[in-house]
């Protein structure tokens, strides 16, 4: 008797697919092939109740640190269950602690929770996507969003459903543990890792190894502040590694240098574009097999020495500003069982220059006769129906795998040549684009005031409205990114968009209305630039017309092949104000 004699039901197949997806990741748990972790695995000091937390006296701790000191956010399962049973929303302290489990109470914007997952490397199976669609339908608002960390968020979850949601996630081989507040956020890597013909290295094994290392080491939670890590494989799709606290950027080292020839990661630290800083190259090269150990050592040094008294100065950047990179890396080196190696950047061959919006459209993979298709989804939004149909497309025409991108889009990999046109037709029927130059493809928006108490504006709704307006008015022949962020926390990274819109309450003929400060010329791909503020406090009602003028002026006056970022860079702020106000 064979399996074919008794085919599995759809439900059984889905269960098995989820099971094998989770099982396939097991070899990475806690270790990476040939990797050496730290010289002292217990070097992360336990955050025990006592007089001080990593040297900071308890009386000096800020409010959030006191909450963490009183109760480890990982140990609140009973509290979660009690809230679910009573269908109760959390108080201020539990609102903070629930985020250790990826549950964000987003009142007063919505009297419900938002769930944020962890999807290491942005990779999902079709069964997982279908399971997430079920969560969104049964317990959420019937939709989900792709985030700027190649992750998924589901909104409108009532307290009574939080345990059902978290257990369903685990059944799917997924977790949301540590996706909020002072923890290591979703580990990102290139969305086309393993399929990009131009890449130097497939970064998915490192991203997943680190993901499982974090899940299995309690001392890597409850950091002084949030922490982002990205692996860039040197291919044609950028991961915005420069905007992360740690960016591992692949390079090739040839013969005759001071280290063995091979592929390494250059180590970049302290990217935080909301504070107007790209990550800085430390001069070190890291063997891929050592990258998990180095990341863990960096996080442990940050954990032990970061500021726990002032949230505004608690990110990694401020520790490195205080100490300098050399002292910081000396401390990191003390935690490692192997010496760190330095190499001048000039001795490294960098990867392929990234293709702007190369994650959208149809591209050949390194695997013969296979293609990936990047799907544009304005502000990362997907309905339950779209999620299921994406899962169907991945399963019926691809390999059953989907990739999420940090640009809030989705990639369908492994589509054979013969099915490309069919998949494209299906995507259009579902209401999606796949052209890289469409305006909707370049819109990136944070949650906004539909679900975030910090937001001054409805960023996602405004993003969709802007795309609709501009697409009627003009056609682009190269991609333009428009990043809308609802407050200076800059979750949508307004400083790195070609056009960055920072939400604010602004004055419009004596009334306070939703509006934006307009920044132009940001870029994090290749020649990095932070956007400069050109217009201040513009009501949203005037933004579509203003940006129409900005883009038509650029199209009319640019030099041959000049990017928007280069065009704006050769003009002063005053010149741009005059040019675009004309
Ligand atoms: Fe909320 Fe501000 Fe982040 Fe937008 S940028 S999601 S408004 S915290």
538-566 per-position pLDDT tens digit: 999 999 999 999 999 999 999 998 999 99
207 lines ligand 1 (CB under 6 A): no
CA pair distance 53, 58, nearest whole angstrom: 7
CA pair distance 179, 299, nearest whole angstrom: 16
CA of 478 to the centre of ligand 1 (A): 28
Ligand 1 atom nearest 449 alpha carbon: 7
Q: What would the mean pLDDT of 86-111 be, rounded to a whole number?
A: 94
Say if residues 202 and 232 touch (Cβ distance below 8 Å). Answer: no
Closest of 311, 242, 253, 318 to residue 280, by C-alpha: 242
**How many C-alpha atoms does 106 have within 13 Å on its Cβ side?**
24
334 lines ligand 1 (CB under 6 A): no
When pLDDT is cut at 50, 70 and 90, the band that residue 356 belongs to is: confident
In this predicted structure, what is the pLDDT of residue 22? Answer: 45
Ligand 1 atom nearest 492 alpha carbon: 5
Among 196-200, 264-268, 438-442, the least confident range: 438-442
CA of 343 to the centre of ligand 1 (A): 38
CA dihedral 44, 45, 47, 49 (to 10 degrees): 170
Q: Which two tokens stand for residue 103?
A: 């549950």
Indicate if the pLDDT at residue 45 is higher than 70: no
Tens of pLDDT along 118-134? Answer: 999 999 999 999 999 99
CA of 124 to the centre of ligand 1 (A): 25
In this predicted structure, what is the pLDDT of residue 273? Answer: 82
Tens of pLDDT along 461-471? Answer: 999 999 999 99
Indicate if the pLDDT at residue 9 is higher than 70: no
| Residues ≥6 apart with Cβ < 8 Å to 98 | 73, 76, 80, 90, 104, 105, 113
Q: What would the mean pLDDT of 38-46 be, rounded to a whole number?
A: 44
Ligand 1 atom nearest 456 alpha carbon: 7
In this predicted structure, what is the pLDDT of residue 493? Answer: 86
Question: Could you tell me the maximum CA-CA distance found in the chain, to the nearest angstrom?
Answer: 79
CA pair distance 158, 87, nearest whole angstrom: 7
> Got the DSSP string for 234-258?
SSSS---GGGSSEEEEEEEE-TTSS
CA of 482 to the centre of ligand 1 (A): 16
CA of 169 to the centre of ligand 1 (A): 25
Q: What are phi and psi of 248, to 5 degrees?
A: -100, 115
Higher pLDDT, 439 or 101: 101
CA pair distance 259, 290, nearest whole angstrom: 14
Residue in the block written with tokens 């401390």:
331
**How many C-alpha atoms does 560 have within 13 Å on its Cβ side?**
0
Q: What would the mean pLDDT of 224-235 be, rounded to a whole number?
A: 96
412 lines ligand 1 (CB under 6 A): no
* Helix count and strand count (H, E) for the chain: 16, 24
Indicate if the pLDDT at residue 34 is higher than 50: no
446 lines ligand 1 (CB under 6 A): yes
Residue 38's SS3 state is strand
CA of 447 to the centre of ligand 1 (A): 6
| Residue 371 host element (H or E) | strand 370-375
Note the pTM of the prediction, 2 decimals.
0.87
Indicate if the pLDDT at residue 49 is higher than 60: no
Residue nearest to atom 2 of ligand 1 (CA): 487
Q: DSSP label at 82?
A: H
In this predicted structure, what is the pLDDT of residue 27? Answer: 34
When the pLDDT of each residue in the chain is averaged and rounded to a whole number, the result is: 90
Indicate if the pLDDT at residue 25 is higher than 60: no
In this predicted structure, what is the pLDDT of residue 10? Answer: 62
Tens of pLDDT along 302-313? Answer: 999 999 999 999
CA pair distance 367, 369, nearest whole angstrom: 7
Of all residues in the chain, the percent with pLDDT exceeding 70 is 91
In this predicted structure, what is the pLDDT of residue 491? Answer: 87
When pLDDT is cut at 50, 70 and 90, the band that residue 26 belongs to is: very low
Strand pairing report for 401-404 and 410-416 = antiparallel
When pLDDT is cut at 50, 70 and 90, the band that residue 7 belongs to is: low
Indicate if the pLDDT at residue 388 is higher than 60: yes
In this predicted structure, what is the pLDDT of residue 534? Answer: 96
When pLDDT is cut at 50, 70 and 90, the band that residue 479 belongs to is: confident
CA of 451 to the centre of ligand 1 (A): 9
Tens of pLDDT along 130-182? Answer: 999 999 999 999 999 999 999 999 999 999 999 999 999 999 999 999 999 99
CA dihedral 129, 134, 139, 140 (to 10 degrees): 50
Of all residues in the chain, the percent with pLDDT exceeding 90 is 75
In this predicted structure, what is the pLDDT of residue 452? Answer: 83
In this predicted structure, what is the pLDDT of residue 35? Answer: 43
Indicate if the pLDDT at residue 20 is higher than 80: no
Q: What are phi and psi of 104, to 5 degrees?
A: -110, 105
């Amino acid at each position: 008797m064979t399996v074919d004699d008794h085919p599995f039901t759809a439900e059984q197949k889905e269960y098995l697919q989820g099971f094998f997806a989770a099982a396939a990741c097991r070899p990475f748990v806690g270790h990476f092939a040939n990797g050496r972790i730290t010289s002292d695995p217990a070097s992360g000091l336990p955050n025990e109740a006592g007089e001080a937390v990593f040297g900071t006296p308890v009386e000096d701790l800020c409010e959030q640190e006191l909450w963490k000191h009183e109760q480890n956010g990982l140990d609140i399962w009973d509290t979660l269950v009690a809230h679910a049973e009573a269908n109760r929303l959390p108080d201020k302290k539990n609102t903070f602690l629930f985020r250790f489990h990826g549950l964000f109470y987003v009142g007063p914007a919505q009297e419900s929770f938002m769930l944020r997952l962890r999807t290491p490397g942005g990779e999902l199976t079709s069964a997982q996507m279908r399971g997430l669609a079920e969560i969104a339908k049964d317990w959420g608002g019937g939709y989900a969003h792709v985030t700027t960390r190649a992750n998924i968020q589901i909104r409108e979850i009532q307290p009574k459903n939080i345990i059902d949601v978290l257990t369903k996630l685990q059944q799917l081989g997924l977790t949301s543990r540590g996706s909020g507040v002072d923890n290591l956020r979703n580990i990102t890597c290139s969305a086309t890792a393993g399929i990009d013909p131009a890449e130097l290295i497939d970064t998915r094994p490192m991203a997943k190894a680190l993901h499982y290392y974090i899940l299995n080491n309690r001392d890597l939670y409850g950091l002084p502040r949030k922490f982002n890590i990205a692996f860039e494989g040197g291919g044609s799709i950028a991961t915005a590694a420069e905007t992360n606290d740690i960016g591992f950027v692949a390079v090739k080292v040839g013969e005759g240098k001071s280290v063995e020839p091979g592929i390494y990661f250059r180590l970049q630290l302290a990217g935080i574009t909301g504070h107007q800083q790209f990550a800085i190259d430390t001069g070190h090269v890291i063997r891929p097999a050592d990258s998990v150990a180095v990341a863990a050592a960096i996080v442990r040094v940050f954990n032990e020495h970061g500021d726990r008294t002032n949230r505004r100065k608690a990110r990694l950047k401020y520790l490195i500003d205080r100490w300098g990179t050399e002292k910081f890396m000396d401390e990191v080196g003390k935690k490692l069982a192997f010496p760190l190696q330095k190499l001048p950047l000039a001795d490294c061959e960098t990867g392929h220059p990234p293709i702007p919006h190369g994650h959208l459209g149809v591209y050949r993979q390194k695997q013969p006769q296979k293609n990936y298709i990047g799907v544009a989804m304005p502000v990362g939004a997907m309905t339950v129906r779209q999620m299921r149909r994406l899962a169907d497309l991945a399963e019926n025409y691809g390999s059953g795998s989907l990739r999420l991108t940090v640009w809030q889009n989705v990639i369908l990999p492994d589509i054979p040549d013969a099915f490309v046109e069919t998949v494209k037709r299906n995507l259009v029927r579902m209401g999606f684009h796949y052209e890289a130059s469409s305006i909707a493809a370049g819109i990136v928006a944070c949650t906004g005031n539909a679900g975030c108490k910090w937001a001054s504006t409805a960023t996602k709704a405004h993003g969709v409205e802007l795309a609709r307006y501009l697409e009627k008015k003009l056609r682009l022949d190269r991609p333009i990114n428009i990043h809308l962020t609802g407050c200076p926390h800059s979750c949508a990274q307004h400083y790195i968009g070609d056009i960055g819109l920072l939400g604010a309450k602004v004055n419009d003929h004596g009334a306070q209305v939703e509006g934006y400060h307009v920044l132009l010329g940001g870029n994090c791909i290749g020649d990095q630039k932070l956007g400069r503020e050109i217009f201040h406090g513009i009501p949203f009602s005037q933004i579509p017309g203003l940006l129409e003028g900005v883009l038509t002026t650029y199209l009319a006056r640019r030099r041959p092949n000049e990017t928007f970022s280069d065009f704006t860079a050769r003009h002063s702020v005053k010149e741009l104000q005059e040019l675009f106000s004309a």
